[in-house]
Amino acid sequence: MPMLHTVNKSPFERRTLDTALRHAVKGAAILLIEDGVYAAFDGTVVADKVKAALSDHKIYVLGPDVSARGMSEHHVIDGINVVDYGGFVDLVTEYDKVQSWL
Amino acid sequence: MPMLHTVNKSPFERRTLDTALRHAVKGAAILLIEDGVYAAFDGTVVADKVKAALSDHKIYVLGPDVSARGMSEHHVIDGINVVDYGGFVDLVTEYDKVQSWL
Amino acid sequence: MKLSVLVNEGPYQHQSADSAIQFTKAALAKGHEVFRVFFYHDGVNNGTSYAVPPQDDRNITQEWTSLAKEHDLDLVVCIAAAQRRGILDENESKRQGKDGFNIAEGFRISGLGQLIEAGIQSDRLVIFGD
Amino acid sequence: MKLSVLVNEGPYQHQSADSAIQFTKAALAKGHEVFRVFFYHDGVNNGTSYAVPPQDDRNITQEWTSLAKEHDLDLVVCIAAAQRRGILDENESKRQGKDGFNIAEGFRISGLGQLIEAGIQSDRLVIFGD
Amino acid sequence: MAEPWEDDEVDGPVRKFMYVNRRAPYGTIYALESLEVVLIAAAFEQDVSLVFMDDGVYQIKKEQNTDAIGVKNFSPTYRALEGYDVEKLYVEKESLESRGLTTDDLIVPVQVVENDQLAELMEEQEVILSF
Amino acid sequence: MAEPWEDDEVDGPVRKFMYVNRRAPYGTIYALESLEVVLIAAAFEQDVSLVFMDDGVYQIKKEQNTDAIGVKNFSPTYRALEGYDVEKLYVEKESLESRGLTTDDLIVPVQVVENDQLAELMEEQEVILSF
């Protein structure tokens, strides 16, 4: 399995998500955590970019960080999977290694 | 006098400079410090945006932060003034107040 | 699997420490071994015994201490980063001629080699930071 | 003019504290009055007496202490932020039942009102942070 | 209305203070500790404005539930601001729109402003605290 | 060549470690403390690569002079890496170009790679430490 990339920065303030996507090979997964979860929602100026990335990557978002921020799982972009901390652990073990784009 | 806006973030990683420029009235000044100084140089992908801002704003860059980073004052965009910490203090007192875009 | 965790920011200022705690708990709950949690950069501030956060909020250092006790976790604070930032154990305090020390229960201070060792010995290294 | 300075990040991790020191020195050299330097968020970590940075680099806390001594500067660490992060003076240490305290010479711990007062009393407030 | 803590008040002119909130909650502590400043500042009876812009608009998003991250949910406190006579709350329109949010998503009533209006408002202040 | 500290070495297989440097020097400490990890790691005789990308390329900019900011200039240490057998230094082409830099601006010899080559290189690693 290729690797898991984690992104914890808001896509509206930093270029971290762009950088992660540019360096993820086809089949690599992206996990959005902390302020990175804001990239997961429909109706934002970054939503199209994220949807396009779904053709090459599985994208996950950390549910606890979504709820904390008052964002609704109903508005998560179709095709993005919501996981809890247990799911985060599973992703870490399923993929070969983890690259944290801090 | 309108206010002085300070920007301390790299224009390549964050949107802070854009935000500062979008909220600076005509005549307000911009001072680039710390990693913000990287916006002051010719030949980068952000140089055109910074040059355009010179028509509405005086732009200053902190010389000590330029030298620390091995950047050359010779490559500073024409029209941007290089100041030292004393000059930073002068700007703070000349302009009516300071907004730090952190 | 054998996992290690690296924490690069201090408690409260960034969510990193909270995320690391939740991740570590979940990994232990799933039966994984957590080989080591290493604290680097401002992460060393997770290990201060002097913090007294508001009672209606979490106490991050205490959560680490409890986790360490329950699961025999190895919590290692980088010595070089700790010296820069003022985290001392009793030995370091004496060596540096300070009056007291502030390393919290369950944490130990050691060298960066412990981070490299965690990278070598663990199946996965997960980093939390800013 | 009367200036005040707000420092929002700890020493070393970000350049903010260094910038604040250089700015404060330059303001004093130009004959301005520095009414107060207030330390908030992780900025409170500027006030730890326990740090022992490498000898070939600057010691940020000592620079503040020297500046305070030479220019009778008022260095105020926010009490709420300090409690969260483990910066204690002798009184707070006793009150919280801790074994020691780590506030550095020249710093005092006080409330957020001191920041508002600095905003009211000073001609300019300059903020350094991340 | 006089409150007991107002004895602590500093003498001097009333100044225009603006608190500019630009960061999302929970990812960093700035939102919470900014709110703590605003609450303390209320006792000083200055002319206070709060701005929510960039990711700061997320601070006042409805329905925050922090149970699963183990962090205190401080968003209800924004509702208490009115009781402290902090009533000038501005939100930048572009910040809301680019995030797909409307005022219906917000926990408190706010005045929505364009970025150039906000720039003018900032120029009118005497002290700006940016978080 | 055996060095005295190699007695400390941990037994185990040689693993592929990559250090990814993405931040500018001095604005934050990550560049300096990343370099400190690399120097210690050298004693462990693993297979080490260093990547400089995004603002990380500024870490190895020539002619850094920190006298006026009062901070230690640690850039000469990058020149010492070769002596520690750390010889695989990669710089991302796009990061250099968007900043108007060329390899002539850099303090050490590096291999310039495209972002997709870099992505492949990352996939080949066993441990990635990102700063």
Nearest residue of A to residue B19, measured between CA atoms: A13
| Cβ–Cβ below 8 Å for D48 and C86 | yes
Q: Does A86 touch chain E (CB under 8 A)?
A: no
Each residue's pLDDT tens digit, A67-96: 999 999 999 999 999 999 999 999 999 999
Quick one: B4-90 is in which CATH superfamily? DsrEFH-like (3.40.1260.10)
Task: Quote the minimal CA–CA distance from E116 to chain C in Å.
Answer: 31
Domains and CATH numbers, chain C: 2-128 (3.40.1260.10)
Domain ranges of chain E: 17-130
Mean pLDDT value of segment A40-62: 98
| Range with the poorest average pLDDT among B25-29, E2-6, F33-37, F119-123 | E2-6
Q: Does F7 touch chain C (CB under 8 A)?
A: no
Q: Which amino acid is at B16?
A: T
How far, in Å, CA of F107 to CA of D48, rounded? Answer: 36
Q: Does B13 touch chain A (CB under 8 A)?
A: yes
Secondary structure letter of residue B87 according to DSSP: H
In the predicted model, is pLDDT for residue E3 greater than 80?
no
Each residue's pLDDT tens digit, C60-78: 999 999 999 999 999 999 9
Each residue's pLDDT tens digit, D22-41: 999 999 999 999 999 999 99
Chain F residues in contact with chain A using a Cβ-Cβ cutoff of 8 Å:
20, 22, 53-54, 115, 118-120, 122-123, 125-128, 130-131
Mean pLDDT value of segment B58-77: 97
Residue D122: count other Cβ atoms within 10 Å of its Cβ.
19
Whole-angstrom CA distances from A61 to A41, A73, D82, E54 are 10, 10, 34, 21
Among residues C2, C75, C66, the alpha carbon closest in space to that of C33 is found at: C2
Q: Does C88 touch chain D (CB under 8 A)?
A: yes
Secondary structure letter of residue D50 according to DSSP: -
Task: Quote the minimal CA–CA distance from C113 to chain F in Å.
Answer: 6
The H or E element containing residue B48 is helix B47-53
Among residues E17, F100, D27, E73, the alpha carbon closest in space to that of B88 is found at: D27
SS3 letters for C23-73? HHHHHHHCCCEEEEEEECHHHHHHHECCCCCCCCCCCHHHHHHHHHHHHCC
How far, in Å, CA of B50 to CA of D102, rounded? Answer: 45
Write down the catalytic residue from D37, D78, D88, D104. D78
Each residue's pLDDT tens digit, D79-121: 999 999 999 999 999 999 999 999 999 999 999 999 999 999 9
How far, in Å, CA of F60 to CA of F52, rounded? Answer: 8
Each residue's pLDDT tens digit, F22-58: 999 999 999 999 999 999 998 899 999 999 999 999 9
| Cβ–Cβ below 8 Å for A38 and E68 | no
Please say whether the dihedral angle defined by the alpha carbons of residues D46, D47, D53 and D56, taken in this order, is positive or negative. Answer: positive
pLDDT attached to residue F42: 86
In the predicted model, is pLDDT for residue B30 greater than 90?
yes
Task: Quote the minimal CA–CA distance from C68 to chain E in Å.
Answer: 18
Is D78 one of the annotated active-site residues of the chain?
yes
Three-state DSSP at A38 gives helix
pLDDT attached to residue F12: 66
- Check: CATH 3.90.1720.10 for F17-130? no
How far, in Å, CA of C105 to CA of C102, rounded? Answer: 9
Domain ranges of chain A: 4-90
Paired tokens of E25: 């909650």
Q: Does B85 touch chain A (CB under 8 A)?
A: no
| Cβ–Cβ below 8 Å for F55 and B12 | yes
How far, in Å, CA of B97 to CA of F54, rounded? Answer: 33
On whether the pTM is more than 0.90, the answer is yes
Paired tokens of B67: 């030298």
Q: Does E79 touch chain D (CB under 8 A)?
A: no
As annotated, the active-site residues of C are 78
State whether ipTM is beyond 0.85.
Answer: yes
pLDDT attached to residue B1: 86
Each residue's pLDDT tens digit, F74-115: 999 999 999 999 999 999 999 999 999 999 999 999 999 999
pLDDT attached to residue E11: 60
Residue C45: count other Cβ atoms within 10 Å of its Cβ.
32
Q: Which of F122, F125, F126 sits opposite A23 (nearest CB)?
A: F122
First to last CA, chain B: 22
